[in-house]
Structure 1
Amino acid sequence: MASSSSAALAPMLAAHDAKVDARTWFAVAAGLLGAFMAVLDIQITNSSLKDILGTLSATQEEGSWISTAYLCAEIVVIPLTGLLARVFGLRAYMISTTALFLVCSTLCGAAWNLPSMIVFRMMQGFTGGALIPMAMTLVMAKLPPSKRATGMALFGLTATMAPTLGPTLGGYLSELYGWPSIFYINWVPGLLLIAGIAYGLDKDRRNWALLANADWLGIAFMAMGLGSLTIFLEEGNSKDWFDSNFIRLFATLAIVGLVGWIAISALRKEPFVNLRLYLRRNFFVAATLAAVTGMALYGSSFLLPLYLGQIANYTPMQIGEVIMWAGLPQLFIMPFVARLSSKIDNRIMCTIGLLLFGISCLMNGYMDASYGYDELLWSQVVRALGQPFIMLTLSNFAMNGIAPQDTPSASSLFNMTRNLGGSIGIAMLATMLTNRQHFHSERVGEAVSLLSDATQSRLDQMTQGFIAAGIDPATAGSQAIAAIDRIVRRESYVMAYNDGFLMMAGVLFACIVVLWFADKTKSPSGGGAGAH
């Protein structure tokens, strides 16, 4: 992508103060809707997983492949989108991949067993993943610099709201219409997307010769490396990491694939995606922070629904009502952030966002078993206020000073890194949750000893309560001990969830230091250039 093979995209770029007509806005809006839909589908099965597994007669461990298959295919196709858009033309590629995504979504809703669901989810991820970087490319290519802050703000919403609203929408749809509806609902935004792209973009010329000259060896190494890394991260915790031959195999394949991809990209004059962009300081800082904030973004959307389901015994719909407050306020704060981004150093704005996001995690780091909607509402609102400051400014840092021919590469790599960060974050938090629960269970268990007077007093009270309910004394004593054990396990899980949120808060605060290694940047405005 570094030279002539991507020059075809350069004429698409709009002049600085060019007027944006309705067709262009339709195309950009359609692209953003596609990105939102693709990111939403990563998380949308989480709330409905129990119902899906029951229908497909699968265990919880087997069911993890429903998400893994989607993520694996999505992460592989993202770096390929620049090449495929040049081969088929942007308009034709987006329409065709959306149409295939809708077909695959329908097949997911009609899956008859677990293997069929995994195959259809993989196909869905491969077709939908392309929509994420294409949305960012459309913003950069079709909007003039004076309008790009608005476009990037809207793109930021797809990155932060979709993971948040996925469990909410999935919970509502599953409870009201059954789990297949979470896949069938894609037809609504999908058809709007196709109509918007068909109306808003002109037809492009096909360039089949690029397929013959493509860096197929680099593509093969990339697919093996990223696919294996995703499987390693998603399945590692459930298989005890390196104690499993399966995990060791995929860790080896990931290393070989990624090293091979980097080596071939360094040696080839025209790699299919320009990895040298990581050598640019601003892009490297933006990509690193995107990965880390991706860990926190997807990690929060992973931990909180788990806590509400396991500790508070919330239904999927009730969980959705809590989680949605991390998304809805962003609709109102994002226009304000977009305007500020052209006037204030984006490092200051991103610092504010990281502080707010970190504070929201701190607020969730001291929960007890009684926490529910009322106690969690304000932490969700604080998180919603902070996320737009982060995603918009990181996009600005990543795309600042990028040459027109490298725009598709930058978009692909930035979004790929963010999604990888999400996978890494969920893997780390799942492992941490298991380990810290065992740790706290042992510590609390030592304090709640059967030799302790306080424990014996509590057991006697509970035993008498069971006897008063008509249970014989021997059974009542056993039930009292079992009840104490459940309380110990519950409290140890609550402390483990708290540890997870506190770790995310610490990581987000540490990111502020890394952020200031980037150059001073502002969004372009109508008055002039935006980078300094």
Structure 2
Amino acid sequence: MAEQASTKGLAMSWLQRLLGAFRNKSEERLQFYEDQSWNFSPAERGVIPGAPPSPSHPPHRRVLYALTSVLVSITGGLGNALVVANLPYLQGSLGLDISEIAWLPTVYLITSAMTGFVLIKYRQQFGIRSFCIVFLILYASIVFAHLFVDSLASAIAVRAASGISGSALTVLGVFYMNQALPLKHRQRAVVLGIGLPQLALPLARLFPVDVLAINNWRGIYLFELGLSLLALAAVMFVRLPPNKRVNAFEKLDAVTFAFYASSIALFGSAIGMGSYFWWTNKAWIGLFLAISAPLMAIAITIEYLRARPLIDVRWLSKFVLLRFALVTIVARIVFSEQTIGAIGFLRNFGLTNDDIRPLSLAIFLAAIAGLAVGALAVGPTRLTPLVMMAVTLVGLGSFIDSFSSILTRAPELMVTQVLIAFAATVFIGPSFVFGLNEVLAEGGSKMASFIALFGITQSMGTLIGLAFVQTAVLVRQQYHIDEFAAQLSEQYPLVSGEVTSFSNQYFAVLHDSTLRYAEGISQLGRQALLQAQVAAYNDVFLLISGLAGFATLFLMIVIAHGWLTSIRARKVLQ
């Protein structure tokens, strides 16, 4: 009994230390909206405006920061990931067609792309504390309201708010992870913080469909509401060190943002929905694309002429950043091999999330492994090689998948999808750190501009990848259907034998030979369609593999150029 009392006392003592880690005994109790008072040395203040300083923390406080980082990062992406993973089932429950339900993930990516850089300015002017609380309360309130107003419009509003809060929580996850690790491991902290939201989609596929489908799929929104409230409680308790506030906004920022956001919204809507409505079937798709270009041109022109631009387009036009944008967009396209390609391939066979749970678990574990490897391997000279390795792995996995057949199921895709999941989380951290290094080289003042670029390449790149894969699959599927139809002649003995075989399957239930023959023809058509779909996915997998190969070759040239430049520099110094 004495030993148990002693153990309990030690546990309570440690818990009190952990919970008291954020309370200064010399201070009065703070209100939830107030910043805590800190005294920072010049080395702790950092150089990026809007980011919290990096003071020294005791180990138990670092543990709390790490746990909060995981919570807010997963919260930022899991709600939308649950919708994406269960989109076909939500469609049926809401009585919508696929072109209507597809607005949900599209709107999320649009709002995420258009607001990220504005949130940096918000943090600079109003502080991190306000940033944390305002956007989490806004998100939770909209999710709560959607529980009572079940319509497509309210679901779109939730996803739009989720995109804004997701962008905010991704940055918060990075900030909390920065506090969790010592300053010397800052790059590793950034890789972990920016990579954690990438685990949301693999994790979402592990949730049982029956649990989320309760009360007409309100289970998703109840879970989303609970997560957002839990994250709100965590950030209220676990306070980040306050950043220095400055007057960051100018009146002309609103004009730039209006043109910029309108352009992103129109372009994202057209690209995200074009493959669902089909590009030539709706006039508004071409109209949106046509209008988005001049709107973006106006925003760029305004920023180019400003003395203190919201987005520094002169800096973004540097070759190294244009190269970064190109590689990142191509990478987002090839990573769609898993999220749209392989999962869509399996759904053609009628498989649900519950049916592919072992594959989803393997993908989730591979994504965690990729995040860990990226964090451990990151370094100033390893950023481009890590990105190249990730793209190469996707190319290899896609090439292997291009040999799929009508008998291919989840076990046959296990190795390739593990490779691609591993590559996806290896890629995201080093690519972000590469751009962050360019920001630091400019003294940290270009952070809003970089986040605008990063947001576009990630969100719009994802929409482009989705449109690319779906369009290519449909085009190649139609090609193969036409090809098979030309070959399916009743005069061929093999075709006649197949029809007879299919017809005989209905002998016990259909006594009319004409009806049995018609069912045999119908069954043969369904088999031909399935074969055409498999052949189309194989073509797209091969196309993605080729695109990844070109990206790998390009990155090899970049690495070789950097290596030769360093050799010449050393010779000059000698």
Same fold (TM over 0.5): yes
The one-letter amino acid paired with 2:411 is D
Q: Kindly tell me: are residues 138 and 293 of structure 1, through their superposed partners in 2, closer, same or farther at Cα, counting changes over 3 Å? A: farther
What is the number of residues matched between the two proteins? Answer: 512
Task: Give the match's secondary structure for 1:367.
Answer: coil
Aligned position for 1:227: 265
Distance 2:358 2:370 in 1: 20
Aligned position for 2:240: 201
Deviations 1:345-384 (A, max 9, x none): 3333322222212212222222112222211111122223
Distance 1:318 1:201 in 2: 42
The one-letter amino acid paired with 1:435 is V
Aligned position for 2:541: 501
Contact kept? 2:363, 2:417, Cα under 8 Å: yes
Does residue 1:275 correspond to 2:313, yes or no?
A: yes
Deviations 1:152-175 (A, max 9, x none): 331353253223333443746435
TM-aligned CA deviation for residue 32 of structure 1: 5.3
Aligned position for 1:433: 473
Q: How does 1:3-14 map to 2 (within 5 A)?
A: 9=49, 12-14=52-54
TM-aligned CA deviation for residue 231 of structure 1: 0.2
Distance 1:50 1:463 in 2: 32
TM-aligned CA deviation for residue 487 of structure 1: 0.3
Q: Kindly tell me: are residues 240 and 484 of structure 1, through their superposed partners in 2, closer, same or farther at Cα, counting changes over 3 Å? A: same
Deviations 1:446-472 (A, max 9, x none): 222222121012212322342355432
Distance 1:140 1:477 in 2: 68
The one-letter amino acid paired with 2:298 is G
Deviations 1:369-428 (A, max 9, x none): 222221111112222332333222212211124232223432342133111100100011
Does residue 1:513 correspond to 2:539, yes or no?
A: no
TM-aligned CA deviation for residue 190 of structure 1: 2.7
Contact kept? 1:13, 1:143, Cα under 8 Å: no
Aligned position for 2:117: 79
Distance 2:555 2:197 in 1: 19
Does residue 1:256 correspond to 2:298, yes or no?
A: no
Aligned position for 1:315: 352
Task: Give the match's secondary structure for 2:446.
Answer: helix
Distance 1:308 1:83 in 2: 43
Distance 1:169 1:75 in 2: 27
Q: Kindly tell me: are residues 159 and 364 of structure 1, through their superposed partners in 2, closer, same or farther at Cα, counting changes over 3 Å? A: farther
The one-letter amino acid paired with 2:506 is F
Deviations 1:305-362 (A, max 9, x none): 2222222x11232244423322222323433432222386333332222221221222
Distance 1:193 1:280 in 2: 38
Q: Kindly tell me: are residues 330 and 113 of structure 1, through their superposed partners in 2, closer, same or farther at Cα, counting changes over 3 Å? A: closer
Aligned position for 2:522: 482
Which sits farther off after the overlay, 431-440 or 168-177? 168-177
Deviations 1:234-293 (A, max 9, x none): 111223324522112211221122111211111112222333443344433333222222
Distance 1:72 1:330 in 2: 25
Q: Kindly tell me: are residues 510 and 290 of structure 1, through their superposed partners in 2, closer, same or farther at Cα, counting changes over 3 Å? A: same
Q: How does 1:33-44 map to 2 (within 5 A)?
A: 33-44=71-82
Distance 2:452 2:69 in 1: 14
Does residue 1:99 correspond to 2:157, yes or no?
A: no
Distance 1:8 1:200 in 2: 19
Match of 2:187 among 149, 157, 164: 149
The one-letter amino acid paired with 1:487 is Q
Distance 2:459 2:230 in 1: 25
Contact kept? 2:65, 2:179, Cα under 8 Å: no
Match of 1:395 among 419, 432, 438: 432
Q: Kindly tell me: are residues 447 and 502 of structure 1, through their superposed partners in 2, closer, same or farther at Cα, counting changes over 3 Å? A: same
Distance 1:69 1:11 in 2: 28
Task: Give the match's secondary structure for 1:307.
Answer: helix
Deviations 1:202-233 (A, max 9, x none): 455766x5445351111011111111111011
Contact kept? 2:143, 2:221, Cα under 8 Å: yes
Distance 1:285 1:330 in 2: 26
Which has the greater radius of gyration? 2
Distance 1:259 1:278 in 2: 14
Aligned position for 2:30: none
Which sits farther off after the overlay, 385-394 or 372-381? 385-394
Does residue 1:467 correspond to 2:510, yes or no?
A: no
Match of 2:498 among 458, 462, 480: 458
Contact kept? 2:398, 2:542, Cα under 8 Å: yes
Match of 2:327 among 279, 289, 304: 289
Task: Give the match's secondary structure for 1:404.
Answer: coil
Distance 1:383 1:248 in 2: 33
Which sits farther off after the overlay, 494-503 or 402-411? 402-411
Contact kept? 1:170, 1:182, Cα under 8 Å: no
Q: Kindly tell me: are residues 481 and 11 of structure 1, through their superposed partners in 2, closer, same or farther at Cα, counting changes over 3 Å? A: closer
Aligned position for 1:301: 339
TM-aligned CA deviation for residue 503 of structure 1: 1.8
Aligned position for 1:530: none
Contact kept? 1:26, 1:197, Cα under 8 Å: no
Contact kept? 2:271, 2:464, Cα under 8 Å: yes
Q: Kindly tell me: are residues 428 and 46 of structure 1, through their superposed partners in 2, closer, same or farther at Cα, counting changes over 3 Å? A: same
Which sits farther off after the overlay, 113-122 or 445-454? 113-122
Match of 1:335 among 362, 372, 377: 372
Distance 1:316 1:12 in 2: 40
Contact kept? 2:108, 2:160, Cα under 8 Å: yes
Aligned position for 2:84: 46
After TM superposition, the score normalised by the length of structure 1 is 0.86
TM-aligned CA deviation for residue 483 of structure 1: 0.4
Match of 1:382 among 406, 419, 444: 419
Deviations 1:53-98 (A, max 9, x none): 3343322222222222222222221231111222321221122111
The one-letter amino acid paired with 2:532 is S
Distance 2:533 2:330 in 1: 24
Higher RCO (C-alpha 8 Å, min separation 6): 1
Aligned position for 2:127: 89
TM-aligned CA deviation for residue 128 of structure 1: 2.9
Contact kept? 1:40, 1:163, Cα under 8 Å: yes
Distance 2:304 2:227 in 1: 39
TM-aligned CA deviation for residue 118 of structure 1: 2.1
Q: Where do 5+ consecutive residues of structure 1 fail to align?
A: 1-5, 522-532
Which sits farther off after the overlay, 373-382 or 465-474? 465-474
Distance 1:343 1:77 in 2: 29
Contact kept? 1:28, 1:138, Cα under 8 Å: yes
Task: Give the match's secondary structure for 1:471.
Answer: coil
The one-letter amino acid paired with 2:459 is N
Which sits farther off after the overlay, 282-291 or 377-386? 282-291
Q: Kindly tell me: are residues 389 and 365 of structure 1, through their superposed partners in 2, closer, same or farther at Cα, counting changes over 3 Å? A: same
Q: Where do 5+ consecutive residues of structure 2 fail to align?
A: 1-45, 564-574
Contact kept? 1:215, 1:272, Cα under 8 Å: yes
Distance 1:8 1:436 in 2: 48
The one-letter amino acid paired with 1:181 is G
Distance 2:514 2:414 in 1: 44
TM-aligned CA deviation for residue 138 of structure 1: 6.1
Contact kept? 1:87, 1:206, Cα under 8 Å: yes
TM-aligned CA deviation for residue 22 of structure 1: 5.3
